[in-house]
A = this chain, B = another copy of it.
Amino acid sequence: MSPEAVQRIHDSFAAQSMMETLGARIEAVAQGNVRSAAPILPGARQQQGHGHAGLTFSLGDTAAGYAALTVLPETVEVVTAEIKINLLAPARGDRLVAVGKVIKPGRRLCVVTSEVFAEADGKASLIAILQGTMVPVPR
């Protein structure tokens, strides 16, 4: 990918105040593949003290959405049309990492998946998988 295309992902991400609230950032961008990460902040927890499903979802959805954006023309943004999350284990640890991937690119619909891992004591475990559809919209 061109540096401009990568920058476009980072700029769009930076414009999402929710990502700043969650302390999230983009860690890697490649064609059809984006990795994002966030600490499990004190303000992003559920009733048992683990990371909230809303955090896991937000990170997984965002990685998938930007993965879709890497395969689309520069003139568009993407929005999530639908996405499903299966939560496999509690979000225990210090940090979540999401890896989004394009399964089927398309001008009208882009099918994506995402895996979310929780990192504790330097060990990552898969805590959620997502499968969804991203839709290009004019910027």
Report if A31 contacts B (CB, 8 A): no
**Contact (A133, B81) CB under 8 Å given A44-B17, A104-B88:** yes
Give A62's nearest chain B residue, CB to CB.
B54
Complex Cα–Cα for A133 and B77 (A):
20
The number of residues on chain A lying at the interface, defined by a beta carbon within 8 Å of a beta carbon of chain B, is: 49
Contact flags (1/0) for A72-107 with B, using CB distance below 8 Å? 000001011111111111100000000000011000
Q: Which A residues fall within an 8 A CB radius of B? A: 12-13, 15-18, 20-22, 42-48, 52-55, 57-58, 61-62, 77, 79-90, 103-104, 108-109, 111, 113, 126, 129, 131-133, 135
Nearest-Cβ distance from residue A66 to partner chain B, whole angstroms: 10
Nearest-Cβ distance from residue A21 to partner chain B, whole angstroms: 4
Nearest-Cβ distance from residue A101 to partner chain B, whole angstroms: 11
- Tell me what chain A mostly uses at the interface: helix, strand, loop, or mixed: mixed
Chain B residues lying within 8 Å of A132, measured Cβ to Cβ, are 86
Are the CB atoms of A103 and B88 closer together than 8 Å? yes
Q: Which of B43, B82, B113 contacts A85 (CB 8 A)?
A: B82
Nearest-Cβ distance from residue A129 to partner chain B, whole angstroms: 6
Give A42's nearest chain B residue, CB to CB.
B17
Complex Cα–Cα for A135 and B87 (A):
11
Are the CB atoms of B16 and A52 closer together than 8 Å? yes
